[in-house]
Amino acid sequence: IGLLSREREIKERMSSVEIDTVMPQDLINAKPAAAAVREFFGSSQLSQFMDQTNPLSEITHKRRLSALGPGGLTRERAGFEVRDVHPTHYGRICPIETPEGPNIGLINSLATFARVNKYGFIESPYRKIVDGKVTKEVIYLSAMEEAKHYVAQANSSLDSEGRFTEEFVVCRHAGEVLMAPRDHVDLMDVSPKQLVSVAAALIPFLENDDANRALMGSNMQRQA
């Protein structure tokens, strides 16, 4: 926001000076630019001191996603729908690691293998299936692109050649979990860990835990 106002000021100055003789210092005033940067890093809600209690707290803080701050939601106005887990979170945003209390569901964590693309969308990796055979080629897809595919789970049973042993495979398609014929399946998860964040993935036998206790555990590991 600060840099956009600087851009407007510079454009206004360009219209009022002789272009042939103008120098950069005539257009750009360093003080307001420095003040905008200082304001963002010094007083913005989204700028925080890194939590360095242990290596996990550090990496978790760097991978945090927030719906609060300038241009975002407020705790008071955010309803249940915004905070709830959504099918598109799969492999992108961790459904477990979030604070307890008023920030629940508004502050989240990036999933283990997720990445943010150049347009700001979160992408998750998948292994390609060619002619019924699982390959080592990995592609990253956004939630919108993923909905078109039939995606098998990472722990689906495969034979020595990388083909599904079962006639029908549990997979995801258009936000639904269903049993599909194996020749319909065109993608496969890269790992069972891709569903959760780094902190949640550190919990042994996570699949046997109650979700509430797993949430507490993933948050408490950062304080150890």
Domain ranges of the chain: 1-43, 55-112+195-222, 122-189
CATH number of 122-189: 2.30.150.10
Tell me how many degrees the CA angle 20-21-22 measures, rounded to the nearest 5: 105
In the beta sheet, which residues pair with residue 149? Answer: none
Alpha carbons 143 and 31: distance in angstroms, whole number: 42
Q: Give the tens place of pLDDT for each residue, 175-210.
A: 899 999 989 999 999 999 999 999 999 999 999 999
State the pTM of this model. Answer: 0.81
Instruction: Check: CB of residue 128 under 8 Å from CB of residue 135.
Output: yes
Residue type, 50: M
Q: Give the tens place of pLDDT for each residue, 57-82.
A: 999 999 999 999 888 999 998 999 99
